[in-house]
């Protein structure tokens, strides 16, 4: 019985009715892999690759990147890993990528926009990722199909996504380049409100969407996420943010494609239940938050999560949404 108790926190994420909600880890380098696995992460939902580029005077080579990606992918064999290509600009400036000064960097040449302007950096990164996947999964995997070949448990399931995608054109551009370079599953992050408004068009090319609630909140409420004086507006409980999440969730359901959340919102246990009620199919967070989110999900059925989501959408402010959902949730526990 003691062994069962010790193992209990490592069960996969699921609602009380058994609906699976995979719980994934946000990682900033391969160094966090052991901690994520110990926390019961079912994979990686956001692998930030900026660490390879920050403080560098020139972009890392394909070989330098390949070594890091292979190390990270090997740690998650048998699991899914979602890698985000370089998200430079704004809060993550890079000397060799964003050399023109900008008055409003958060609205400037960042994320996929910066990569489209410096395409070789994107090509090198995707090339290194495809090579790393091939090294881990074995030669001949490319073109065999994601579920083809034997020993599925021995393979890593690599998904790659682009940050700051604004519309269908960004999505088509990124997914086309990624597939040409051998990436089998290519998707986009929903961080700009426009992406939610045209989510159906984005799903024509993207295999999946991952919602970055940190930036989505910043841009929906026009409140700089780095500015303390407007920090009260940087709250993903805001019904305006949640309505956009609901639009993305519905579009994903209509397209039959997954919609994850990888922003800080996924680490707030009650908000995580609301996100699932809005149609989100997986949650990625700092490994330390996984246990609490898993426990809260297990307290609510799908019907209850949807009722919590409706209450949050009806609220007239972030704090009222939080209060309304807390009251309702207490009744489910």
Among 207, 215, 264, 304, binds Mg ion (CB under 5 A): 215
Beta carbons of 157 and 78 less than 8 angstroms apart: no
- For residues 169-192, one letter each, b for 16 or more C-beta atoms within 10 angstroms of the residue's C-beta and e for the rest, the string is ebbbbbbebbbebbbbbbbbbbbb
225 is in an annotated binding site: yes
* Of 262, 266, 273, 329, catalytic: 262
Residues of this chain that bind ligand PEP (CB under 6 A): 46, 48, 87, 191, 212-215, 262-263
For the segment 272-331, give every residue that binds Mg ion (CB under 5 A).
none
Place of tokens 């972009």: 59
**207 is annotated as contributing to ligand binding:** no
Segment holding 78, helix H or strand E: none
48 binds, among Mg ion, ligand PEP, none (CB under 5 to 8 A by kind): ligand PEP
- Nearer to Mg ion among residue 42 and residue 215 (C-beta): 215
Q: Which of 22, 60, 212, 236 binds Mg ion (CB under 5 A)?
A: 212
Q: Is 310 annotated as a binding residue?
A: no
Task: Compute the least distance from the CB of residue 22 to ligand PEP, in Å.
Answer: 17
Distance CA(176)–CA(183), nearest Å, equals 10
- Beta carbon of residue 5, minimum distance to ligand PEP (angstroms, whole number): 33
- 3-state SS record for 269-284: HHHHHHHHHCCCCEEE
Alpha carbon distance, N-terminus to C-terminus of the chain: 24
| Contact (CB, 8 A) for 44 and 284 | yes
User: Does the annotation list 191 as a binding residue?
Assistant: yes
Concerning whether 262 is annotated as a catalytic residue, the answer is: yes
| Residues making contact with Mg ion (CB under 5 A) | 191, 212, 215
Positions at the binding site for Mg(2+)? 191, 215
- Catalytic residue set: 262
């Amino acid at each position: 019985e003691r062994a069962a108790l010790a193992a209990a926190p490592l069960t996969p994420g699921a609602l009380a009715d058994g609906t699976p909600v995979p719980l994934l880890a946000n990682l900033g380098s391969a160094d966090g892999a052991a901690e994520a696995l110990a926390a019961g992460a079912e994979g990686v939902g956001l692998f930030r690759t900026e660490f390879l580029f920050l403080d560098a005077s020139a972009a890392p080579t394909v070989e330098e990147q390949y070594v890091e990606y292979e190390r990270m992918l090997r740690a998650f064999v048998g699991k899914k890993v979602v890698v985000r290509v370089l998200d430079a600009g704004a809060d993550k400036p890079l000397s060799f990528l964003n050399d023109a000064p900008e008055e409003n960097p958060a609205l400037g040449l960042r994320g996929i926009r910066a990569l489209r302007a410096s395409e070789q950096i994107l090509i090198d990164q995707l090339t290194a990722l495809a090579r790393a996947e091939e090294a881990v999964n074995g030669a001949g995997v490319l073109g065999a199909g994601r579920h083809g070949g034997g020993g599925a448990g021995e393979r890593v399931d690599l998904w790659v996504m682009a940050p700051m995608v604004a519309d269908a054109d960004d999505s088509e551009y990124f997914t086309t380049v990624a597939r040409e370079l051998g990436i089998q599953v290519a998707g986009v992050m929903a961080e700009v409100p426009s992406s939610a408004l045209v989510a159906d068009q984005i799903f024509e090319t993207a295999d999946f969407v991952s919602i970055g609630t940190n930036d989505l909140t910043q841009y929906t409420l026009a409140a700089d996420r780095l500015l303390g004086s407007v920090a009260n507006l940087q709250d993903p409980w805001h019904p305006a943010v949640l309505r956009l999440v609901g639009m993305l969730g519905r579009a994903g359901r209509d397209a039959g494609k997954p919609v994850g959340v990888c922003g800080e919102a996924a680490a707030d246990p009650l908000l995580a239940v609301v996100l699932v009620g809005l149609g989100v199919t997986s949650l990625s967070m700092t490994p330390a938050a996984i246990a609490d989110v898993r426990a809260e999900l297990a307290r609510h059925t799908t019907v209850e999560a949807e009722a919590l989501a409706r209450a949050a959408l009806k609220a007239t402010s972030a704090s009222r949404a939080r209060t309304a959902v807390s009251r309702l949730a207490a009744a489910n526990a």
